[in-house]
Amino acid sequence: MTKKASQIIAGLALLLLNMGGVQAHESTAHYMANEGLMVEHGDTKILFDPLFRNSYGQYMLLPEELEEALFAGAAPYDGIDAVFVSHHHGDHFSPIDMVRLLREQPSIRLYAPNQAVIAMRSESSNNDADIFERVTAVNLEYKDAPVTLNMEGLLIEAVRIPHSGWPTGRLDIENIVWRVTLNEDTTVLHMGDADPNDVHFAQDAQYWNRNNPHMAFPPYWFFSSSSGREILNNRIKAKRSVGVHVPVTIPADPLLRPVELRSFDLFTSPGETRTISTED
Ligand SMILES: [Zn+2]
Ligand SMILES: [Zn+2]
């Protein structure tokens, strides 16, 4: 190789390194299944609703390889900092599997509604006392003020929004909407099975007016109801929204979807990603 050629290669290598550096400050959302997601910013990685066992005959389950990588802490699920659970329903949360994940990955911290943590305690043994030192239970009633929690690299905000079916069904379920800011840079919103009625959001208008998410992950029914779309546009005001909890019968190809879902971005295939832009 000539000296000139080796200089060019060294220059290219340096350029690639620099590009890598820029990309490290971008955030990415990785779809797992149903409402399961990973969001990463630099070295910070968080998961929402990652472990569940029930498809109720219509929602996507985790592919086996993905689940194995998660328990093993293998890429891309290596170095997970925190896990957030929206609510104790079988298509979002499996208590026994969450206990196992915390046992096998001793650096993960868990944030979950009290109801979910109580279910985990009944699935754990006396030897598991130490895993609960890494668990934060949020105990919120409907209409309680949102709460703020902090851990290194994360600003965590939580509010209880009733489960869909309000005001007649599933009132006992503690559904938590998590707003999480990674490294004071990227804010995301995970909504669980929130009910799309503006009355739940109107009472915390100031809360929703600040720290607007760069990306929100509403259940798809926020797109197909006019009140859901109004909440997204007028309260949450995310720069971008990607729908989750999409039944397997709804195709990835927008043109083949029911007409009311054609113009929205939906997560439908495990492993697909979106770049989260923080530019204005
Ligand atoms: Zn639910
Ligand atoms: Zn659900």
For residue 128, the model assigns a pLDDT of 87
pTM, rounded to two decimals: 0.91
> Taking Cα atoms as reference points, which of 216, 245, 275, 249 lies closest to residue 32?
245
Neighbours of ion ligand 2 (CB under 5 A): 91, 193
For residue 126, the model assigns a pLDDT of 85
Is-contact 218 230, C-beta < 8 A?
no
Which domains, from first to last, does the chain contain?
27-274 (3.60.15.10)
Ligand nearest to the CA of 165: 1
For residue 241, the CA-to-ligand 1 centroid distance in Å is 20
Cα gap 86→80, rounded to integer Å = 18
For residue 89, the CA-to-ligand 1 centroid distance in Å is 5
For residue 118, the CA-to-ligand 1 centroid distance in Å is 17
For residue 10, the CA-to-ligand 2 centroid distance in Å is 51
For residue 20, the model assigns a pLDDT of 46
For residue 87, the model assigns a pLDDT of 98
Ligand nearest to the CA of 87: 1
Cα gap 6→108, rounded to integer Å = 44
Q: List per-residue pLDDT tens for the chain, 280 residues long.
A: 555 655 655 555 555 554 544 444 689 999 999 999 999 999 999 999 999 999 999 999 999 999 999 999 999 999 999 999 999 999 999 999 999 999 999 999 999 999 999 999 999 988 888 999 999 999 999 999 999 999 999 999 999 999 999 999 899 999 999 999 999 999 999 999 999 999 999 999 999 999 999 999 999 999 999 999 999 999 999 999 999 999 999 999 999 999 999 999 999 999 999 999 998 7
Is-contact 274 38, C-beta < 8 A?
no
- pLDDT tens for residues 71-80? 999 999 999 9
